[in-house]
Amino acid sequence: MTRRWPRWRRRAFAGVTGLALLVPCWLGAPVVLQRVALFRVRQIELVGVRNLAPDAVIAALRLGPRASVFGDTRLLADRLRGLAGVAEARVVRRLPAVLSVEVREVEPAALVPAPRGSGRGLVAVDAAGRPLPFDPARAGLDLPIAASADSGVVGVLALIQSVDPALFQTITGARAFARSGVLLEIGPHRVLVGRDAGPEVIRAVVLVAQDLAAKGRKYVELDARFAGQVVVRRRPTASGGGEGA
């Protein structure tokens, strides 16, 4: 005589069997669906692209004419991260035929003169002085102009950009000053800071400038290269003569 399994055991066995069949189908579905014409990529949405050329971003994906939304989105994101000017990227499927490309660009910190013979006027650089593939004219970049891609100078500009965006927007130029200083041009005023300046130095400069403006006191230069103090001058110090002076 054959013993029948209890009902709960039969249900558990059926569930496990169904799951065992479902998992291979689930894992293999993308491979199968890649061949379905309905899911071929027909539209690409770009999110977060401000300074990069859209065509360059799309070209970096390296999609073939029969590319499917069920392709490897992690591989596509890795390709985008290899594009200069991209800090982070993500690719999301939107069925049936759309890829949404989400990009976080590298923040430009300054404009510097382009190399001679390049045929360009100014080049955007990041906080380390590395060139970025951003077209300042097309993107309308409103950034300070640094005398060169000196990482110490550009690094100070990037610091100010993160600490006080309003002050950053008023800076028109920057260059190396003396051995370890950076000279910032802000309208008719000059500000001197050390290359190793921290956020507290930038905040001190802003507070002193605001206090002088509130009291109607005129000045030409603020020197914040000294620990714990900001020197106010009616006359500028020596011009510094540019890089390495």
Shared domain for 205 and 170, answered yes or no, is yes
Shared domain for 66 and 179, answered yes or no, is no
Judge whether 156 lies within some domain.
yes
Judge whether 62 lies within some domain.
yes
Read off the CATH number of the domain in which 76 is found: 3.10.20.310
| Residue spans of alpha helices (H) in the chain | 7-33, 54-61, 73-81, 136-139, 151-163, 165-170, 199-215
Judge whether 171 lies within some domain.
yes
**What is the domain extent for residue 178?**
110-233
Shared domain for 124 and 222, answered yes or no, is yes
Angle, to 10 degrees, between the axis of helix 54-61 and the axis of helix 73-81? 130
Q: Where does a domain end: 105, 135, 161?
A: 105
* Cα separation, 6 vs 51, whole angstroms: 67
Shared domain for 44 and 130, answered yes or no, is no
Shared domain for 209 and 136, answered yes or no, is yes
Contacts of 220 (CB under 8 A, 6+ apart): 188, 189, 190, 233, 234, 235, 236
Shared domain for 117 and 228, answered yes or no, is yes
Amino acid at 76: L
Closest CA to 86 of 109, 66, 107, 112: 107
Shared domain for 228 and 152, answered yes or no, is yes
Judge whether 238 lies within some domain.
no
Tally of domains within the chain: 2
Please, what is the average pLDDT of the chain? 88
Q: Where does a domain end: 55, 71, 105?
A: 105
Question: pLDDT for 113-134, tens place per residue?
Answer: 998 877 778 999 999 999 999 9
Shared domain for 189 and 226, answered yes or no, is yes
Shared domain for 41 and 100, answered yes or no, is yes
Read off the CATH number of the domain in which 173 is found: 3.40.50
**pLDDT score recorded for residue 27:** 45
**pLDDT score recorded for residue 117:** 74
Closest CA to 222 of 213, 211, 209, 210: 209
**pLDDT score recorded for residue 177:** 95
Judge whether 241 lies within some domain.
no
Shared domain for 128 and 93, answered yes or no, is no
Q: How confident is the model at residue 44 (pLDDT cuts 50, 70, 90)?
A: very high
**pLDDT score recorded for residue 153:** 98
Distance from CA of residue 194 to its chain's centroid? 25
* pLDDT over 70 at 13, yes or no: no
Q: Where does a domain end: 105, 140, 155?
A: 105
Shared domain for 42 and 157, answered yes or no, is no
Shared domain for 52 and 167, answered yes or no, is no
